[in-house]
Chain A
Amino acid sequence: MTTKNTQKSEISGTTKSKKAAEAKDLVGFKRIDGRKVDEIRGPIKAKVGVVDNADGSAMYQQGKTIAIAAVYGPKKMHPQHQQDPERGTLRCNYNMISFSVTERIRPGTNRRSTEISKIMEWALGPVLMIDKYPNKVVDVHVNIIQADAGTRCAAINAAAMALAHAGIPMKNLVSSVAAGKMDKTIVVDLNKKEEDYEEGEGATDIPMTFTPDGKLTHLQLDGKINKKQLMEAIELGKKACKEIYEVQKKALKEIGEE
């Protein structure tokens, strides 16, 4: 149990002993499923072209979280008053299906899905080049089929592949993962059990999205963390996103080989 004094020194922490303790934590920390701190969950599966009607589509699975994305567009934007006469609009729609989680979610949208839809637009928007489609919209629909935390990250990963598959002009793909902290240890890709971790300082969840050249397009946090640890988490997340990028790229390249 940390006393108030030790808590203070941890939060400002740069003492030698603390560094040593951190190093030990990083090496010795055992996660619930036996993963290393910098290990993403498996299996990681990605496939494009999973919804025949869509202009582009993809499935992304990481561990037990599965997302399906479908892109329709560019097409005329309805309702008309939402049209932007100067550039195209990206419109994301994220939703979890009722039986994707243990306690049934009533079908329909809710505040969380509305927020995540917007977050997705911000995460994907910077790499899209849809300025030359005024008054048009690119609709990205993502549904979570099975959830074990990291759903918004899986959604973004699936959406990025689906957008490329749809032939939307893009500067790059983006890749997303949730890094975090469990008690004092920085980890990457928390599953549901880890998100609910309550020992010590509990769990801090940090979903983030990176372009392959290391730029952040999305970052959120909830929990309790100091600046140094946060920077560590971001570095860990960046590394993990590079791995995820390779999976997304492979899925897009394997399309001919069926």
Chain B
Amino acid sequence: MDKVRTTFDVTKERIKKHLLEGKRFDSRKPEEFRDIVIETGVSENAEGSCRVKIGKTEVLVGIKMDVATPYPDSPNKGNLMVTAELLPLSSPKFENGPPKFPAIELGRIIDRCIRESKVIELEKLCIKEGEKVWTVFVDIYSINDDGNLLDAAGIGAIVALKNAKIPKYDDKEEKVVYGELTNNSLPLAKNIPISITTHKIGDSLIVDPTREEEDISETRVTIGSSDGVISSMQKGESIPLSVEEMEKILDLNEKVWKDIFKKVEKFVK
């Protein structure tokens, strides 16, 4: 089956028309997310892992840690590296091969959300200043794409980080003893950075688009914030936004953040 189908134009027109009345095909309100299902500890060899489902969209996020030399301009700080892969198994849109722009952008957006929120206390990941620090790898994989992989990845990243445990480090041998975890969680601050993407379709603003809705999204703004403090933002695609629309997006983001926080709260305690 040549399933590289984008939504038919006639359906797109209907989606837009319905949105003008504030209605969506699956009866959700514009500011409503689909059901979120979170499972932690899904991959035992990872230092932390989780599976996040938003509706039928599914991602897997894993945390791996290693000891390395610090960056020269931050000799007493641990390293953070966020990578995303849009697996060909998750959608007919994704091809085998080196990461293309959507995967690179996704990784970088989530990286900024985590990094700029300073939720990971990188100074506490220093083992020996200038010589040895912990590197935290956050690896994001798509398993099924039915729209909004971005926000699913964002939730997955923070949940996996909160659930990770630091592996044992053998000082004598100077290497990590994988498979043996200490009881120590990562040094994390109390804030919970969650990234939420708002999409503009015609004159309507929605969050958590299905694949059909994503197909007609004209532009999107992803905001990483925690309790009203915005730490990262990215506008994607080409249609311009008015300042009023931007303000509406910020308001919407604040409202939705509170809803999402309630849903993921127990996984990030």
> In the bound complex, how far is the Cα of B137 from the Cα of A66, in angstroms?
21
Smallest CB gap from B103: residue in A: A107
A183 CB within 8 Å of chain B: no
Cross-chain contact A139 with B88 (CB below 8 angstroms): yes
Smallest CB gap from A117: residue in B: B96
Cross-chain contact B42 with A145 (CB below 8 angstroms): yes
A69 CB within 8 Å of chain B: yes
Cross-chain contact B98 with A108 (CB below 8 angstroms): yes
CB-CB contacts below 8 Å: A134-155 with B:
139, 141-143, 145-147
The count of A-to-B residue pairs whose CB atoms sit within 8 angstroms is 95
Number of interface residues of A (CB under 8 A): 35
> In the bound complex, how far is the Cα of B92 from the Cα of A57, in angstroms?
13
Which A residues are CB-close (under 8 A) to B83?
Answer: 98, 107
A101 CB within 8 Å of chain B: yes
CB-CB contacts below 8 Å: A114-131 with B:
none
Which B residues are CB-close (under 8 A) to A146?
Answer: 42-45
> In the bound complex, how far is the Cα of B145 from the Cα of A230, in angstroms?
45
For chain B, give the interface size range: 35 or more
Which B residues are CB-close (under 8 A) to A72?
Answer: 1, 3, 88, 92
Cross-chain contact A70 with B60 (CB below 8 angstroms): no
B192 CB within 8 Å of chain A: no
Which B residues are CB-close (under 8 A) to A68?
Answer: 89, 143
CB-CB contacts below 8 Å: B167-201 with A:
178-179
Contact of A55 among B1, B44, B144 (CB under 8 A): B1
B49 CB within 8 Å of chain A: yes
Q: Which of A69, A70, A102, A146 has the most CB of B within 10 A?
A: A102
Smallest CB gap from B2: residue in A: A75
Which B residues are CB-close (under 8 A) to A257?
Answer: none
Cross-chain contact B137 with A104 (CB below 8 angstroms): yes
Smallest CB gap from A102: residue in B: B178
Smallest CB gap from A75: residue in B: B2
Cross-chain contact B91 with A53 (CB below 8 angstroms): yes
B208 CB within 8 Å of chain A: no
Chain B positions 129 through 151: 1 when the CB is less than 8 Å from some CB of chain A, otherwise 0: 00000000101010111100000
Chain B positions 37 through 68: 1 when the CB is less than 8 Å from some CB of chain A, otherwise 0: 00000111111010000001000101110100
B residues adjacent to A (C-beta < 8 A): 1-3, 42-47, 49, 56, 60, 62-64, 66, 83, 85, 87-92, 96, 98-99, 137, 139, 141, 143-146, 178-179
**Additional A-B contact list (10), CB under 8 Å, known A51-B144, A64-B44, A72-B88:** A52-B144, A53-B91, A70-B88, A74-B1, A76-B2, A100-B43, A109-B96, A142-B89, A146-B43, A147-B45
